[in-house]
Structure 1
Amino acid sequence: MNETILDFAIIASGFIGYFISFSLVTTSFYKNRANNYLSISLFLITSLTLLGWFGIEDTVLEFLNNPVLEYLFAVTLFTYFLIQIEHRYLKKSWYKWLYLPFIIVLIIETIVLFYHSDFDDIVFFITDNTSFFYNTFLIFWGRKLIKRSPTVSKDKKRWLLRLNFFFICALMIWLLSSIEFYIFDSEYATGFLFILLSFLSWWILYYGVFKLQLIVQKEEIHEYLTSKSTKSTQTRRKINETTSSKIITQLYELMDKEELYKNPLLSRLDLATRLETNEGYLSQIINQELNKSIIQFVNEYRIEAAKNLLHNPVFNKYSLEAIGMEVGFKSKSTFYSTFKKSLGMSPGAFRKLQKRPDS
């Protein structure tokens, strides 16, 4: 019974893995060069998991379960890391030689497939164990490059290091399963390895790919706005300096010039510190002169910035959540609820309204 449940779980994870791998190269939201290599990597590891878990000996699929795919996986995953950190190695002529072990093993396995000999087991043992060291080398090398990359944001670096660490854990279990198999002739660690690899598909689906893509889109939006103008896209608010206090005037200047509202962690204390006053007095003066709370004041700027982005067709390709993150909202739910409360419609409905010819 337990084995049947485990079989079902691995099959389900396999379908999820294949679904994600195809979605990465066919869906506009995810489609980019880096995700093309992640798609190949996920496809390969899903295939290795399914082929390794279910008996495929003495079938045409046995060739696929040989170490050939493991060598290709090592390079595609390493390439994914290089593209994400925009490393100069991608432009080096020697980079393509990383595919050489895959080509060599492919030739060897093809020869073994058609010309059986007494050395087949020895060849498999050597290529299988060498693939472990090749994967280990490239994964740890990739981790080192990610840590040293000066151009990657903290959020992206955190995701890449987490994905890299997951594969390090898989490598350790792979090593333990090999030791267990050759010394104790059992496969408990092997079973755990396949469960871990199956879990990878779900983890990438629910956390990794989607969250990382939001970060990438947010960075692209920010870079575009920065390149187009160093000034705020906000409409400058007319301030009546005769009736507004000095603090309110300075507050508007901070929002318009420095765009403090785009910081999702902006607090009342942060604003009070910048204005050289205390939190209580700041809340009191905003309430008295503007008849609103600090959070309402900040969110008005965020909503106005979101409206500008949603109105601009340049940003139609970006998700609503990425736009919400760019203007300073912590989460999708907060962005949606605040936007709807302010305008009486969702961000999606507002975007569709802007796309109409008569809008």
Structure 2
Amino acid sequence: MNTILLGFAIIVSGSIGYFISIALVTTSFYKNRANNYLSLSLFLLTSLTLFGWFDIEDTVLEFLNNPVLEYLFGVTLFTYFLIQIQHKYLKESWYKWLYLPFICSLIIETILYLDTIFNFYSSDFVDLQFHIMDNASFVYNVFLIFWGRKLIKGSHTISEDKKSWLLRLNLFIICIITCWLLSTIEFYVFNSEYATSFLWILLSFLLWWVLYYGVFKLQIIVQKDEIHQYLVSKNTHNTQAKKKIRETTVSKIITQLYVLMEEEELYKNPLLSRLDLANRLGTSEGYLSQIINQEINKSVIQFVNEYRIEAAKNLLHDPVFNKYSIEAIGMEAGFKSKSAFYNAFNTSLGMSPGAYRKLQKKS
């Protein structure tokens, strides 16, 4: 019964894996160079999972279940990491040599597979070659995964959110490789497959995790970064806000507060707190709240959110940003979560960000 349930879970997860792989290269929301390599990596990992779980001996698919896919998986995932961190290795001439083990294994495996027809070699020799290739692929994958992890940690070209995701994915792959090693040891030493079953479960869980946190959430972050880079390059920040230093304010603190919001755009920090503002202004939290309430008749969060909503409105109104998701726009404006963005926007304007965008398109 447990085997049946596990098999069913693996089939479902495999379907999800193939679905993600196809979606990454066919959907405009996800489609980019990095995701093309992630798509291929997930396709290979899904195939290895299904071929490893189900008996495919004496079929054409048996050829694919040999080490050749394992060599290709490590390189495509390593390439995905390099693209995400925009590493200079991608432009190096030696980089393509990383595919050499895959090409060599493909040639060797083809020769050995044909031997099943022509019987050139002894079965012991063929088994030995497959054993060597299998172990070499394990070492090669470990090398690439840890090399990729080192490069990600040392990268200064990406946001902390993206770096965190890449390191988590890398760690997940390390766990899979470790489980892979344990399952191999268990099989040869104890002649059991408990670790193997756990490996399939881990692989299945990875596909579900990648679906949401690894693909959708990361794409939101990528879009947020693209919006930010566009705004910086075109200098299209809220120009009206930068002109509205209020002459009616009598407090120096309030004047400095407007400067922080309009020139440094502190409101775009989703973790900005009342204490952070008070420290920047050299005052206490209590006095800051009091002075904002007296002179502007708002709370600190209302004051900050007004800037965020204004920034979001400008982005939603501009057709240049129509291709970006509403959640990515909310993150760029400084909101910590989708729900916080929707609640603040709806409270201020009486409509959702989506409804506002549709209204602007019609006008």
TM-score by length of 2: 0.95
How far, CA to CA, are the matches of 2:131 and 2:34 in structure 1? 33
Aligned positions of 1:187-336 closer than 5 A:
187-229=193-235, 232-236=238-242, 238-242=244-248, 244-336=250-342
Matching of residue 29 in structure 1 with residue 29 in structure 2: yes
Matching of residue 339 in structure 1 with residue 337 in structure 2: no
Q: 1:318 to 1:243 in 2, by over 3 A?
A: closer
Aligned positions of 1:1-359 closer than 5 A:
1-116=1-116, 117-118=121-122, 119-229=125-235, 232-236=238-242, 238-242=244-248, 244-356=250-362, 359=363
DSSP-derived class of the 1:152 partner: coil
Deviation for aligned residue 1:231: 6.2
Letter in 2 for 1:89: Y
Q: 1:168 to 1:289 in 2, by over 3 A?
A: same
Deviations 1:134-172 (A, max 9, x none): 111111111111111122221111111111111111111
How far, CA to CA, are the matches of 1:83 and 1:233 in structure 2? 34
Letter in 2 for 1:176: L
How far, CA to CA, are the matches of 2:248 and 2:143 in structure 1? 68
Deviation for aligned residue 1:248: 2.1
Give the aligned length.
357
How far, CA to CA, are the matches of 1:179 and 1:234 in structure 2? 66
Alignment check: 8 A CA contact 1:234 1:305 kept: no
DSSP-derived class of the 2:28 partner: coil
Alignment check: 8 A CA contact 2:14 2:46 kept: yes
DSSP-derived class of the 1:235 partner: helix
How far, CA to CA, are the matches of 1:135 and 1:227 in structure 2? 39
How far, CA to CA, are the matches of 1:213 and 1:254 in structure 2? 30
Letter in 1 for 2:282: E
RMSD: 1.5
Deviation for aligned residue 1:54: 0.6
DSSP-derived class of the 1:258 partner: coil
How far, CA to CA, are the matches of 2:110 and 2:244 in structure 1? 76
Q: 1:39 to 1:233 in 2, by over 3 A?
A: farther
Q: Tell me the percent identity.
A: 77
How far, CA to CA, are the matches of 2:8 and 2:62 in structure 1? 21
Q: Gapped runs of 5+ residues in structure 1? A: none
How far, CA to CA, are the matches of 1:199 and 1:218 in structure 2? 27
Deviations 1:85-142 (A, max 9, x none): 1111111111111111111111111112222331221111111111101111111111
Alignment check: 8 A CA contact 1:10 1:198 kept: yes
TM-score by length of 1: 0.96
How far, CA to CA, are the matches of 1:79 and 1:239 in structure 2? 48
Alignment check: 8 A CA contact 1:233 1:308 kept: no
Letter in 1 for 2:262: D
